Amino acid sequence: MSKLGIIYDYQFLDHKIDTFSPENPDRLKNLYIEIANPKYAHLYKKYLPQVITSNLLHRIHSEFYIEQLRSFSFCINPYSYDKDTYLMEDSLYVAKLSSGSNIVLIDALMNNEIDIGFSLCRPPGHHALPERGMGYCIFNNASISTRYLLDKYNINKILILDFDVHHGNGTEEIFYSNNNVLTVSIHQRNIFPFTGHVQDVGIEEGKGYNINIPVYPQYGDEEYLYLFDNIIKKICEEYNPDFFIVSAGYDGHMDDNTSDTTLTYIGYQNIIRRIKSYIQTMNNKKALFLLEGGYNPNVLERCILDTLEELSTSYTNIHLTEQSSRAQLLVEKEIKPILKEYWPSIF
């Protein structure tokens, strides 16, 4: 049975505006109430968030960018910095708390207090570039966590798997020429941020260490599970990372209107079960999950509770998906021709 550590905190709800944005405190409010229910207490150990230090933040984001955020957070129009990513007086503090929470969980993982961590924080991070926040993301939490593992713990083989329905463009860009970090993103094609093409495999030493699996609209459980079983599983096994970071977004659910994919609760449970089995085959079975998107609060709450339940049990019985003609076509026509040079195991 895995020891699971989580972080949730009402301070994460302080990043907010008066008008509606899909990325708002209601995404997590009810989840926090529910998760505090004693019936879930056996699932996890709770850790307290911490604000990230400037030194760590600067390993990914420049002082200029942070200063820019600070000045925009006092503008009258919260959208004066970016059309999606609002900035208010508390936004910078909450974003620093969000990034710092992952560091708390990494230390707990590396001290062997827990096996898997899940930071239930906001704002999300995977779209944030070193010099630019976008897509509701201010600091790139997955990248800061990865940089911390590289620098502090000398872990030089890190896999970042991003299953948010939007491409993790910030994470991709930050490690695009790095061969110590394998970035894998499965996302819907041709939606925000309109990046994440199969051909984008990395550059220089990082060539082959960036994998994009852009799915078509209307893909659902069958197609996703086929792609996990036939591409992602094989790559995880071949790479055999020393640390697993999961950018967990639940906005590909059929009832989340930011995407056209049709994943169900069962589909997400099966995705998590698969990721758990990949983690269990690693030498160093350490993994950090961090929350990215998911914009239907009810869907997000149930998906996260299911995920915690799944991650905390030892049950790993996986029924491999039979066939999916649509996903098979994507694999044969688009993915294999590009990736065969770098990842022979997918054949």
Burial of 194 (0-12, 13-18, 19+ CB in 10 A): exposed
From the CB of 292, what's the least distance to Zn ion, in Å? 6
Span from 26-34, 104-112, 160-168, 273-281 in contact with Zn ion (CB under 5 A)? 160-168
Residue nearest to Zn ion (CB): 293
- Find the shortest distance in angstroms from Cβ 291 to Zn ion: 10
Structure tokens at 217: 């609209």
Shortest Cβ distance from residue 188 to Zn ion (Å)? 9
Determine if 249 is a binding residue for Zn ion (CB under 5 A). Answer: yes
Cβ contact 233:278 at 8 Å: yes
Q: What does the angle CA 9 – CA 1 – CA 37 come to, to the nearest 5 degrees?
A: 35
- Structure token pair of residue 67: 């200063």
Total interface residues for Zn ion by CB under 5 A: 5
Q: Which stretch binds Zn ion (CB under 5 A): 101-109, 115-123, 177-185, 244-252?
A: 244-252
Q: Which residues pair with 220 in a beta bridge?
A: 262
Q: Which residues pair with 134 in a beta bridge?
A: 137
In the complex with Zn ion, the residue whose CB is nearer, 4 or 263, is 263
Separation of alpha carbons 59 and 61, rounded Å = 6
Nearer to Zn ion, 166 or 276 (CB): 166
The residue among 200 and 251 lying less far from Zn ion, judged by its C-beta, is: 251
Q: Is 127 annotated in the active site?
A: yes
DSSP for 223-251, written as a single string: HHHHHIIIIIHHHHHHH--SEEEEEE--T
162 binds Zn ion (CB under 5 A): no
- Helices (H) and strands (E) counted in the chain, each on its own, are 12, 8
Stretch that binds Zn ion, among 224-232, 242-250, 261-269, 323-331 (CB under 5 A): 242-250
Torsion, Cα 40 41 45 46, to 10 degrees, reads 80
Tokens of 52: 């990230």
| Residue closer to Zn ion, measured from CB, 78 or 293 | 293
Question: Least distance in Å: CB of 247 to Zn ion?
Answer: 9
Closest to 160 (Cα-Cα) out of 146, 174, 177, 173: 146
Q: Which stretch binds Zn ion (CB under 5 A): 59-67, 87-95, 144-152, 248-256?
A: 248-256
Q: Answer yes or no whether residue 166 interacts with Zn ion by CB under 5 A.
A: yes
Instruction: Compute the least distance from the CB of residue 248 to Zn ion, in Å.
Output: 10
Residues 252-311 that bind Zn ion (CB under 5 A): 293
**Whether the bond into 25 is cis, omega within 30 of 0:** no
Closer residue to Zn ion (CB): 163 or 176: 163
Q: Which secondary structure element, helix H or strand E, spans residue 303, and what is its range?
A: helix 297-312
From candidates 164, 200, 221, 242, binder to Zn ion by CB under 5 A: 164
Residues that bind Zn ion (CB under 5 A): 164, 166, 249, 251, 293
Catalytic residues: 127
